Amino acid sequence: MSRIPEETIQQVIAATDIVALVGRAVKLRKAGTNHLGLCPFHNERTPSFNVSPSRGTYHCFGCGAGGTAIRFVMEHDGLSFVEAVKRLADAAGIRIVEEIWDANAEAEAKHRSLLLRANREAAEWFHLLLMKHQLAAPARDYLKARGINADMAKRWQMGYAPENKAFYREWMAQQQISEQAMIDAGIFSVADQDEQGQGGRAYPRWRHRLMFPIRNDNGDVIAFSGRLLEKKENTGKYVNSPETPVFSKSRVLFGFDKSKRFIAKADQAIICEGQIDMIMVFEAGLQNVVAGQGTAFTEHHAKMLKRVCNEVILCYDSDNAGREATEKAFRILSPQGINVRVAALPQGEDPDSLIRKDGADALRTIITDAPEFLEHQIRHMRASAKGDGMTERVRMAEQVANAISIFTGVAQRIAAVNKVAKLLEISEEQLNAMVKRAGNEQKNGSNSQRAASSSGNVIDDAKKLLASQNKTAVLLCQMVLGDAQVLHWLRETDCADMLREVPGTELLSLLWRSRYDPLEETSQLAFLAGLERHQESAFAQLQARPHPPGGLNEAQQALYSLEIVRLQSLIQSTQAKLRQPNLSNEQMEQLQQQVVELSALRKECLDRAKGSPNSSPP
């Protein structure tokens, strides 16, 4: 794997304004010397997310998330450590010269780079064919019929996938892209072999289709969605790229790279079902819009949106499938603290058809007037109800109560109960009882799921790590974290055997092997940035504790104590070997001599531990 020198990491951290970085994703307000906002990593209503420009770190007092600018980019954008450093380095204009230290990981990084190149160049080729080649005339006619002109096609880099496999082969030869790279990028598929072993050949996934590049938050092409141009039986209207090392459907929203700043500005996101709907809404002036990738809305999608806005308007088709998708999205969005409204499109219309038929203002009015999800749900149930008697209203209330029980905020629930009770003309007490019952049913059904998710909590993992450490080693860690003299002394001491053989010294070993310097802030941040999240949280908890009294002498005493533990363990294991049967006289003599020598070393350490401040370490 490519290893970035620590000096470069420190330079990148020093050049990064963490307030500006976090502020692009989180709304911050100044609070003394720090900045506060709602945590982007968990659902909260009271700001507990703290950004410290002086220390160059962030920390959430609610969920424990925290670290440097590098950690924020890793967690927020789902990047690896190296990818996060590179992104920040690019922004700061810092050139990175990498050191190669792991061949397997380096090969993996090169493979990802190859897939991104294959996708990028395929997007350029598809687009060139659409704009210039006579074979793409049907695709251009289709776009014209949908009201998409050449400028729009250029802005979204739409393309055309040819029917003939030979076109692909010719282009691949020109670009020097292998068939295997095309398969790994998902641009080619491989046919299944039959019982005789026939088949198994690679072929283009998309043929005679209109192509839409799918991009990550950084604007890189990571996949495609191909739309059918002519109706064919047993053929999907849209075919998306498969999962690849650079593309996961559940983690990408179409158009988010273009619309996220508009979403943040409006504090609101419009969600459509398809690419063309999203593009047409964006081009109509409603630029705070995204679309899914042909899969159900996911929790990761919800968290992506929560980082930049507090309200979502679902703009799905008005058919049964659209209504089901609306309800599922509500159940995922609401627990994240996002207010959900529903744009009630006319029957048989989607955003694209409505804009072409009645103009952008018609959609804008529907978006502006979109009711909250609960009100929309009641309107739909009333439209299909057989009557408006008490029995029917109670039936509706039971369905709505299930949705209210999803709300996590007390005030949100109270407001919802009050509103729904008035709309359905039933008592708040009756509706509250329904909500409580629905909540209990959900709670009983999700206990195991919550238990599994809580086991991965970073704070809990950090506490478990700290609890597993030797208490003396933890004390020495605290001394090292705050005292440069102790750290420099420890680094000059041969601790390798002790750190390897004494259980519970993992955190101390990380410090001993690192280039951490208490006097250099960027060095501290670089050290923390290179740790696992639970390790970083464990060190953060140690730094938050009061610094132990004493200095170098007390640190030496602590190290002697750990060395005594190591020697005592060696003595016991050697004595156990002496009790083994069938030992030769020579073997017994050697083991007895080892016990004598180890006991002498242990006594020397005990004497030094009780000795003067000028005692030198073993």
10-residue stretch averages of pLDDT, the chain, 618 residues long:
70 86 88 88 84 85 84 84 86 72 63 90 96 94 92 95 91 92 92 59 91 88 91 81 87 89 88 91 94 78 83 86 86 87 88 90 93 88 76 80 80 82 81 79 55 52 84 89 85 82 85 76 66 78 80 86 85 81 80 81 77 42
- 235 token code pair: 């053929």
- Distance (Å, whole) CA 370 – CA 269: 13
- Say if residues 457 and 465 touch (Cβ distance below 8 Å): no
User: What's the whole-model pTM score?
Assistant: 0.59
Helix axes 275-283, 351-358, angle to 10 degrees: 40
User: Where do the structural domains in the chain lie, given as residue ranges?
Assistant: 2-100, 108-190+201-247, 251-370, 380-443, 462-609
pLDDT the model gives residue 617: 39
- Distance (Å, whole) CA 610 – CA 394: 79
Helix (H/G/I), strand (E/B), else coil: 160 = strand
Among the listed residues 57, 47, 52, the one whose alpha carbon sits nearest the alpha carbon of residue 27 = 47
pLDDT the model gives residue 438: 77
**In Å, how far from its chain's centre is CA 126?**
31
Helix axes 552-578, 471-482, angle to 10 degrees: 150
Q: Which residues lie below 8 Å from residue 325, measured CB to CB, with a gap of 6+? A: 273, 296, 297, 314, 316
- Distance (Å, whole) CA 423 – CA 376: 11
Q: Which residue has the tokens 């060395």?
A: 563
Q: Which helix (H) or strand (E) element contains residue 35?
A: strand 34-37
- The highest-level CATH class for domain 2-100 is alpha beta
Among the listed residues 165, 173, 239, 176, the one whose alpha carbon sits nearest the alpha carbon of residue 202 = 165
- Say if residues 268 and 313 touch (Cβ distance below 8 Å): yes
Which residues share a beta bridge with 31? Answer: 34
Q: Which CATH architecture has domain 108-190+201-247?
A: Alpha-Beta Complex (3.90)
- Distance (Å, whole) CA 376 – CA 379: 5
- The highest-level CATH class for domain 251-370 is alpha beta
Q: Which residues lie below 8 Å from residue 32, measured CB to CB, with a gap of 6+? A: none
Among the listed residues 183, 156, 160, 158, the one whose alpha carbon sits nearest the alpha carbon of residue 172 = 183
303 phi/psi in degrees, rounded to 5: -70, -35
CA-to-CA dists, residue 466 to 475, 501, 545, angstroms:
11, 18, 13
Among the listed residues 77, 78, 24, 22, the one whose alpha carbon sits nearest the alpha carbon of residue 50 = 22
